[in-house]
Amino acid sequence: MAILLDHITDEQADLIRSAHVFFVASADPALAEGPDGQGAVNLSPKGAADLHVIDRNTLAYFDYAGSGNETARHGMAGGPVTVMVTSFDEDAAIVRLYGRASARPLEESVLAAHAEELRAVETPTP
C-alpha cells in the first residue's frame, strides 16, 4: 500500500543511492495550456549516472543528451517531474518522487563541487 510522505526517508535514500536505473517522467508546463488542458508526458529511463540525494527534498543527477532530450527541456521550463526508483530484490520496493524539475549547466548545479568524483566513467567503443 502506498504511503505519501513530504520528504525522503533514510530507507528511501538508501534505495535511491543503490539503484542502477531510474525513470524520469516530465512535462512541459506550457503544454498544459493546450485546448484540452493536457500536454505530452515524456518518460525516460536513466542509468548512465547515479541519482544523488542532496537533502530530504532534493535529488540531482547528470543528464546526457539523448533522443531530443525532452527531460532537460522540460526542466529548463520548470515543469512537473516524477522520478521512480525500483528494487526487485527480496525486499521489492517502488519509490516515486514528485516535484518540479530544473535543468542547469554543470557549473551552476548543486553537483558542481563534486563533478570530477561523480562523473560517469566513459567506456571506449571499438
pLDDT digits (tens, 9 = 90+) for 63-103: 776 666 788 888 888 889 999 999 888 778 999 999 998 88
pTM here is: 0.79
pLDDT at position 51, please? 87
CATH at residue 52: 2.30.110
Q: Answer whether residue 111 is part of any domain.
A: no
Q: Answer whether residue 110 is part of any domain.
A: no
d(C-alpha 118, C-alpha 112), whole Å: 9
- In the chain, the number of structural domains is 1
Q: Answer whether residue 3 is part of any domain.
A: no
pLDDT at position 110, please? 81
Q: Answer whether residue 73 is part of any domain.
A: yes
Cell 485546448 -> residue: 35
Taking a C-beta distance cutoff of 8 angstroms, is the pair 118, 62 a contact? yes
Q: Answer whether residue 124 is part of any domain.
A: no
Where does the pLDDT of residue 106 fall: very low under 50, low under 70, confident under 90, or very high at 90 and above? confident
Q: Answer whether residue 113 is part of any domain.
A: no
More confident residue, 14 or 110: 14
More confident residue, 34 or 113: 113
Residue 18 pLDDT exceeds 80:
yes
Residue 115 pLDDT exceeds 80:
no
At residue 77, the 3 state secondary structure works out as: coil
Model confidence over 50-64: pLDDT tens digits?
Answer: 888 999 999 988 877
Q: Answer whether residue 43 is part of any domain.
A: yes
